Amino acid sequence: MDKNLINKAREAIISGKTSLGIELGSTRIKAVLMDSDYQAIAIGHHDWENRYIDNIWTYTLEDIWEGVQGSYRHLAQEVERQYGVAITNIGAIGFSAMMHGYMAFNKEGDILVPFRTWRNTITGPASKKLTDLFQYNIPQRWSIAHLYQAILNNEDHVYDIDYLITLEGYVHWKLTGERVLGIGDASGMFPVDLRTKDYNENMIKQFDQLVSEKNLPWKLKNILPKVLVAGEHAGKLTEEGAKLLDPSGKLKPGIPFCPPEGDAGTGMVATNSVAKRTSNVSAGTSVFAMVVLDHELNKVHEEIDLVMTPAGDLVAMVHSNNCTSDLNAWVSLFGEFAQAIDADLDVDRLYSVLYNKALEGDADGGGLLSYGYYSGEHITHFEEGRPLFVRKPDAKFNLANFMRVNLYTALGALKTGLDILFKEENVKVDRVLGHGGLFKTKGVGQRILAAAMNTPVTVMDTAGEGGAWGIALLANYMLNKSEGEPLDSYLDNRVFAGMTGVSIEADKEDVEGFEQFMKLYSAGLAIERAAVTVLK
């Protein structure tokens, strides 16, 4: 790094003119320290994995704090290594994490049941009942669906609930003492009113009435976090919180926090996709598309979540539980073969060769069919998943088609939901930005997504920093926004001014080929159903 840049970054660290964003993703917790020019000057990370215990996808509290402290410790070590100084003060901090899920605590602050993550598809009856009651789609992942399902299951712990929160809200609470949540993830706990920027009061009353016969000792609004929009102050790092985040004791308390947000919201910020008629697609272990709407939808669609941007604008969210897991497993298998024949291929080269080979395949995938369902998939109505590959004897079975179909199917469930938005609801988007692991091999995942959405897709270099950078931007926005400056203007005029990305137009043949593949994908769901039924 240039000596002047090193000195500038060192001065920012010493003076506390920085923003810290930490995001708890599904496989990695990432910390980004950002300077006042919106540049990431240090990065830390900690790898982790969810656990499948008693038919529940979960992370333990020990996992969470080991990960949060590990990512911060790695960041602090990188700062000392690169700049020769210790982090003692930060301008502002923000936390982000996987959205939705269920973390319930009693009055003593003890967790009542293991954390139930977004990945669980165990709340079908509750989801359906609440959707019918509210006439508003309540996906299985949402906190209110988990809560109502626990009530339907007659779980004793529901009587002891004092606080219900999502993952990043939990971390924020323990570090600041504040029971708050950004409006983006709050709208994934319970429906938020577009006009009041708070929970929908009528639906709150409907829920309390629905469960009144249970004689619960709480009302719903009293156990939910307070809703905050981007730019509002959300508390300060307490002395106890400082020791929890940085057990070394170097970090000082009193640092202001921005509202904690879900990874969908921080992904929108990191890709400058918070304005109306913009969209971003995050594609990794799971995949979701966020489309900021310029009008409300005409009807309820169980495949479409309605949530909010961090600033409180309405967003249609299409979320698929499965994306690259099975694709990565196939690449890993080819990697084993390469090792077996002593071929010298690093991981990046392996992905590049296989992904680019897909572009040589038939536009429709040659009649091959694959489902990468590691877990259930609500869009296509599966409670469990079974990864599978199938073909007819006369299908065009070659490496190019095999890889193309596995890339197509990674977006298959997502496209099912997007087709509802574009073909039934006539939703329009002016730009789409892609980010996440699917786009790491330049041009390939981007081209496949362009075919799925039939629109140009842009990938920006900064998107590689992901949601950790996005929540750092929200922390900076809280500190430095001008009076009345909206979030989309801050991003357009300050952060992304002059930044360019690489755009790929939708190829007509690819679009038509993907449409043909989707006909087979939809028809073949019966095969996936049989696999779930038979393979126990």
pLDDT of residue 159: 98
What mean pLDDT do residues 508-534 have?
98
State pLDDT tens for residues 139-179: 999 999 999 999 999 999 999 999 999 999 999 999 999 99
The full set of domain ranges for the chain reads: 1-91, 100-234, 264-536
State pLDDT tens for residues 271-291: 899 999 999 998 988 898 999
Query: Residue 461 — very low, low, confident or very high, per pLDDT cuts 50/70/90?
Result: low
pLDDT of residue 344: 86
User: Is the torsion defined by CA of 320, 324, 330, 332 positive or negative?
Assistant: negative
pLDDT of residue 525: 98
Tokens linked to 503: 């755009």
pLDDT of residue 80: 97
Q: Which CATH topology does 100-234 take?
A: Nucleotidyltransferase; domain 5 (3.30.420)
Q: What is the 3-state secondary structure (H, E, C) of 108-138?
A: CCCECCCCECCCCCCCHHHHHHHHHHHCCCC
Residue 405 φ then ψ, to 5°? -65, -35
Q: Is the pLDDT of residue 239 over 80?
A: yes
Determine which helix (DSSP H) or strand (DSSP E) holds 10, and give its type and residue range.
Answer: helix 3-15
In the CATH scheme, what architecture does the domain 264-536 have?
A: 2-Layer Sandwich (3.30)
What mean pLDDT do residues 304-308 have?
92
pLDDT of residue 465: 64
Q: Is the pLDDT of residue 383 over 80?
A: yes
Tokens linked to 48: 């982790």
Q: Which residue has the higher pLDDT, 435 or 11?
A: 11
pLDDT of residue 500: 75
State pLDDT tens for residues 104-135: 999 999 999 999 998 888 999 999 999 999 99
List, as one string, the DSSP characters of 372-437.
--SS-BGGGTBSS---EEE--TTS--SHHHHHHHHHHHHTHHHHHHHHIIIIIS----SEEEEESG
pLDDT of residue 477: 98
For β-strands 92-97 and 56-58, DSSP reports them as unpaired
pLDDT of residue 499: 80
pLDDT of residue 316: 96
Closest CA to 92 of 18, 157, 23: 18
pTM, two decimal places: 0.84
pLDDT of residue 437: 87
Please, what CATH class does the domain formed by 1-91 belong to? alpha beta
Asked if the domains 1-91 and 100-234 are classified in one and the same CATH topology, the answer is: yes
List, as one string, the DSSP characters of 193-247.
ETTTTEE-HHHHHHHHHHTGGG--SS-HHHHSPEEE-TTS---B--HHHHHHH-T
For tokens 């750092």, the residue is 472
Q: Is the pLDDT of residue 462 over 80?
A: no
Share the mean pLDDT of the chain.
95
Q: Is the pLDDT of residue 197 over 90?
A: yes
